[in-house]
Structure 1
């Protein structure tokens, strides 16, 4: 499935991470043609060069699942991610590539802190049978995405990668946030990222000259002198596979696109291979056949994974072949994306990964074990049952459209008893290329196929199954759905939270799965409502609202028959609770009298106030010395020498300053200048009885003491001026003509007087 950015925490379905749920329902992505511009970055903190089954013993799926679970729990770095692509490196390492990633520690109860870093792409290096390190941009203290965009609100999600000589070339798709809702992002285009081997330093991010039609990089297959690049095109809730290729393994080379009959240099000529793939899917050559494995995306939220086969990378593909069902959906979670990992597969098996997410956004913090890859092994080729023991095909299948978005099917049973019937459906209007087996089955000889789209023509088939397997399909029956628009949602209410959020609730409407929520800021006198997003269930959390503003919310049901009327509006006033205090800051005094404070961030997007009082001077009240900035450091200056100061820090959000941190003490100390002034020059002045003195400035000096003695008169000690000099020059007047004088100078500051310069003699005129 497509994913969002930190929008995970913005628009949610009844507290659910709607960003990963919705893209299976709605085609979101809009690609823009990218110009061929090279963007270079510095080295970051840190696939498959050939698509062949591992010759060695490989790794069992259970071992890999446990490996990532253990690494997420104990590494203190990577704690969960999605996508899960892999590439074998020439030095026997394996590079795992991820999209949205949580970093940081996990506690003994499998929970992660609320301030855990969240980035849009990362990698993990495997050596042998162990995960060795996490790879990302930035620093360990302030991590950033491995491949950054450099533009706020835009981010990359990884596709797949291949080894090309001394580099790893990876396809990344670039997205942009278009609003605050879970569906508010658009695909901007595709890029090639280059990582230099062996250090895996990011050396180049090159936008590829591709349109916004297809998210490329769903899988890469190196075969027969080409690297085949598979992609996924979202259209009206469906996803269609596409195929391109480049000579060799350089993804920056000339791309050709499969047209259905041949290859073209025009991306616009790219032909749909089949429907029902995910944003990510896997393709692998096994013998003389090509296996395409995907989550069953001809259905929404399907837990089923299926395979198609073909005699060439471009198809035509036959299938689907049911493979396995992800058990995580039984607990209310969702599964998405599929990928093949032949580098680690054991002989005679396909090694598959898929991703898991929760319908409850709180699980991102309360149970880190959910948001991690799962691995499954599938025997391949699949064993074929003896057709002689399978039931015959049902006959006389008829389909009659009903008026509520459903079609009633009736058929005649084949000979025998105890059959279970499986329903297969194809949405002809949507362009589905293959029949999909519905998750429901029946022992009766009739069935109601529900949740059909108004005006769409469907084809149906029915097969009978027994303990030996599933028999052949019946005849094909056709029906065109008719669906009335849904009514306005009832019992709408809005409840304000404490983080600038409002949860909107409404009553369930039968046969309706999608609801749109709109809001209008009445305080700002907003006229046209804003779409917050599309949601499932009967509630939605709308975030990033302005503190103290009164909003009006309406809900619209979207069904197979179109969009219904809006609900009656309901009001709610947004409230943002002041943030929690920062942890006790640290305070470090420097020799220049400054004190540097630093503290851990409380949450993203906050500013901070610093308050100070001088304990040595007897101050009892704190004074605001820094009214608020987005950083987590502050340097106090212009302090009194040897005074003890006390500091507190407050985090600030829309709701105002929060409680003060625990205080921290530090004493301001100045070190006296360590060196004598240089460049001292003493010459006769402009008039009689006068000397002109100047020198070069000394670092850290507040001023200078000038001292003089009359050598001719026999003075043994220097006499210091009564008033210091603040500049680096002075004149000495009323001296005795013909006498020889010696002059020296020393720098001083709050910490004392530094060493004096070597005395310089001069004769007064």
Structure 2
């Protein structure tokens, strides 16, 4: 854990966001302020980040276009391949994507493998967001524990967005062929402030609860959704039972301004919202359950959970549907097959939904992570280590 604390770290996180966005407020009152805009570094707490140069691409219209982009666009030194790929849209029309273990080129000036990274997409460019030290965007703890992104959600504010990223604390291998060689120590949350048209800046990272390797306690932030003034935070847990390979799904809610205050969270116990996390009920059971990381979203009054059933050992991409965020969630028929091939070493895992990406009423874009158990293959061909995309139908009520 950190042993030193900066002035910025001692400030409440809401005040840090105010300081970070203050130059934009000044800009609103006169053109003369433009020349004096000190930029994102004005925030004493921010870990300064800068975007790389544009990686151009053509306009995306279909899931096939997305797949061609993922498998064909040559990345810069800063981004060769990665997994996860959760995304959110900003009020200025740009889109943020967060990734897990990220491979950089051999000649990159900085860390070659990092546990997390971020890309910013506009209509024609992809830009990697780099911290000043060229390490992970959400830095490792001093003891080497790092952070894998799981979900991402946006809260709009005047002139800027607050972006919350659900993370899991991990200890172990941080290389593509070490996907299973890690221990999950519990959840964390990172908050970014993104001024319209400018580079995302990390405001705060907070571990939620003490380190623990007990898989029976939910890892909150495995999925998240913003709806009707609440942030719904979903957690996954795995019981210590033979022949049960899936994770159970649980749900909490919190007001956006209280996201980092665990005492303000409310947990669904099967009948009502209450404040004891130990009483959180499963809204999807572990037997035949979801993956450790998944997507939950609302559309037209229905809620959907998108996941690979039974994690790595499963094959079925399944969508559970519900009349509300607390269930009951009912599994539909498999909408796609995404098996891993242990003989060939190909790993397919972690499908994530992108409901506001190329939206259609009766279907949704889904990505899934792909990797290879042989690191040398990934090193020689990073395209093996990038998400794939497809469009799948939503369940019919």
TM-score, structure 1 normalization: 0.39
What residue number does 2:117 align with?
Answer: 122
Give me the whole-angstrom Cα distance separating, in 2, the residues matched to 1:252 and 1:116. 29
Q: Structure 1 residues 289, 211: closer, same or farther in 2, change over 3 A?
A: farther
Give me the whole-angstrom Cα distance separating, in 1, the residues matched to 2:139 and 2:149. 11
What residue number does 2:25 align with?
Answer: none
What SS is found at the alignment partner of 1:82?
Answer: strand
What residue number does 1:193 align with?
Answer: 190
What residue number does 1:242 align with?
Answer: 250
Q: Structure 1 residues 369, 380: closer, same or farther in 2, change over 3 A?
A: same
What residue number does 1:42 align with?
Answer: 47
Alignment of 1:226-241 (within 5 A): 226-236=230-240, 237-241=245-249
The more displaced of 287-296 and 182-191 is 182-191
Give me the whole-angstrom Cα distance separating, in 1, the residues matched to 2:205 and 2:116. 14
What residue number does 1:75 align with?
Answer: 76
What SS is found at the alignment partner of 1:145?
Answer: coil
What residue number does 1:135 align with?
Answer: 129
What residue number does 2:316 align with?
Answer: 304
Checking the alignment, whether the CA contact within 8 Å between 1:65 and 1:374 is kept in structure 2 is yes
What residue number does 1:173 align with?
Answer: 168
Alignment of 1:398-409 (within 5 A): none
What SS is found at the alignment partner of 2:49?
Answer: coil
Q: Structure 1 residues 191, 295: closer, same or farther in 2, change over 3 A?
A: same
Give me the whole-angstrom Cα distance separating, in 2, the residues matched to 1:312 and 1:65. 32
Give me the whole-angstrom Cα distance separating, in 1, the residues matched to 2:138 and 2:329. 34
What SS is found at the alignment partner of 2:47?
Answer: coil
Give me the whole-angstrom Cα distance separating, in 2, the residues matched to 1:283 and 1:345. 17
Give me the whole-angstrom Cα distance separating, in 2, the residues matched to 1:349 and 1:59. 15
Please report how far the alpha carbon of residue 66 of structure 1 lies from its aligned counterpart in structure 2 after TM superposition.
1.6
Give me the whole-angstrom Cα distance separating, in 2, the residues matched to 1:216 and 1:87. 18
Checking the alignment, whether the CA contact within 8 Å between 1:229 and 1:243 is kept in structure 2 is yes
What residue number does 2:260 align with?
Answer: 252
Please report how far the alpha carbon of residue 380 of structure 1 lies from its aligned counterpart in structure 2 after TM superposition.
2.6
Please report how far the alpha carbon of residue 186 of structure 1 lies from its aligned counterpart in structure 2 after TM superposition.
2.9
Checking the alignment, whether the CA contact within 8 Å between 2:149 and 2:165 is kept in structure 1 is yes
What residue number does 1:160 align with?
Answer: 151
Give me the whole-angstrom Cα distance separating, in 2, the residues matched to 1:309 and 1:127. 31
Q: Structure 1 residues 303, 176: closer, same or farther in 2, change over 3 A?
A: same
Alignment of 1:404-443 (within 5 A): none
Please report how far the alpha carbon of residue 88 of structure 1 lies from its aligned counterpart in structure 2 after TM superposition.
0.5
Please report how far the alpha carbon of residue 131 of structure 1 lies from its aligned counterpart in structure 2 after TM superposition.
3.9
**1:224 lines up with 2:232 in the alignment:** no
Checking the alignment, whether the CA contact within 8 Å between 2:95 and 2:120 is kept in structure 1 is yes
Please report how far the alpha carbon of residue 261 of structure 1 lies from its aligned counterpart in structure 2 after TM superposition.
1.3
Please report how far the alpha carbon of residue 202 of structure 1 lies from its aligned counterpart in structure 2 after TM superposition.
1.1
Give me the whole-angstrom Cα distance separating, in 2, the residues matched to 1:380 and 1:249. 32
Larger radius of gyration: 1
Give me the whole-angstrom Cα distance separating, in 2, the residues matched to 1:352 and 1:250. 30
Checking the alignment, whether the CA contact within 8 Å between 2:363 and 2:392 is kept in structure 1 is yes
Question: Residues 253-299 of structure 1: CA distance to partner in whole angstroms, max 9, x if unpaired?
Answer: 5211111111111111111221221121111223232111101116x
What residue number does 1:268 align with?
Answer: 278
Give me the whole-angstrom Cα distance separating, in 1, the residues matched to 2:378 and 2:120. 24
Q: Structure 1 residues 261, 59: closer, same or farther in 2, change over 3 A?
A: farther
What residue number does 1:98 align with?
Answer: 99
Q: Structure 1 residues 235, 351: closer, same or farther in 2, change over 3 A?
A: same
Q: Structure 1 residues 360, 342: closer, same or farther in 2, change over 3 A?
A: same
Equivalent of residue 145 in structure 1, options 120, 136, 145: 136
Please report how far the alpha carbon of residue 353 of structure 1 lies from its aligned counterpart in structure 2 after TM superposition.
0.9
Q: Structure 1 residues 66, 75: closer, same or farther in 2, change over 3 A?
A: farther
What SS is found at the alignment partner of 2:313?
Answer: coil
Question: Residues 284-338 of structure 1: CA distance to partner in whole angstroms, max 9, x if unpaired?
Answer: 223232111101116x522320111111111111124211013774954121112
**1:321 lines up with 2:315 in the alignment:** no
Please report how far the alpha carbon of residue 85 of structure 1 lies from its aligned counterpart in structure 2 after TM superposition.
0.5
What residue number does 1:10 align with?
Answer: none
What SS is found at the alignment partner of 2:64?
Answer: helix
Please report how far the alpha carbon of residue 381 of structure 1 lies from its aligned counterpart in structure 2 after TM superposition.
3.9
**1:351 lines up with 2:365 in the alignment:** yes
Checking the alignment, whether the CA contact within 8 Å between 2:246 and 2:291 is kept in structure 1 is no
More strand, by proportion: 1
Please report how far the alpha carbon of residue 149 of structure 1 lies from its aligned counterpart in structure 2 after TM superposition.
2.7
What SS is found at the alignment partner of 1:362?
Answer: helix
Please report how far the alpha carbon of residue 58 of structure 1 lies from its aligned counterpart in structure 2 after TM superposition.
7.7
Checking the alignment, whether the CA contact within 8 Å between 2:303 and 2:321 is kept in structure 1 is yes
Question: Residues 600-649 of structure 1: CA distance to partner in whole angstroms, max 9, x if unpaired?
Answer: xxxxxxxxxxxxxxxxxxxxxxxxxxxxxxxxxxxxxxxxxxxxxxxxxx
What SS is found at the alignment partner of 1:84?
Answer: strand
Unaligned runs of 5+ in 2: 1-11, 17-44, 52-58
What residue number does 1:280 align with?
Answer: 293
Alignment of 1:647-686 (within 5 A): none
Checking the alignment, whether the CA contact within 8 Å between 2:166 and 2:188 is kept in structure 1 is yes
Give me the whole-angstrom Cα distance separating, in 2, the residues matched to 1:182 and 1:227. 29
Q: Which runs of 4+ in 1 moved over 6 A?
A: none
Give me the whole-angstrom Cα distance separating, in 2, the residues matched to 1:161 and 1:116. 24
Unaligned runs of 5+ in 1: 1-36, 47-56, 106-111, 385-765
**1:334 lines up with 2:347 in the alignment:** yes
Give me the whole-angstrom Cα distance separating, in 2, the residues matched to 1:59 and 1:282. 22
Please report how far the alpha carbon of residue 355 of structure 1 lies from its aligned counterpart in structure 2 after TM superposition.
0.2
Give me the whole-angstrom Cα distance separating, in 2, the residues matched to 1:157 and 1:60. 28
Checking the alignment, whether the CA contact within 8 Å between 1:192 and 1:205 is kept in structure 2 is yes
Checking the alignment, whether the CA contact within 8 Å between 1:102 and 1:116 is kept in structure 2 is no
What SS is found at the alignment partner of 1:369?
Answer: helix
Give me the whole-angstrom Cα distance separating, in 2, the residues matched to 1:337 and 1:305. 10
Please report how far the alpha carbon of residue 183 of structure 1 lies from its aligned counterpart in structure 2 after TM superposition.
5.8
Please report how far the alpha carbon of residue 84 of structure 1 lies from its aligned counterpart in structure 2 after TM superposition.
0.8
What residue number does 1:64 align with?
Answer: 66
More helix, by proportion: 2
Please report how far the alpha carbon of residue 375 of structure 1 lies from its aligned counterpart in structure 2 after TM superposition.
0.9
What residue number does 1:722 align with?
Answer: none
Q: Structure 1 residues 45, 354: closer, same or farther in 2, change over 3 A?
A: same
Give me the whole-angstrom Cα distance separating, in 1, the residues matched to 2:347 and 2:150. 20
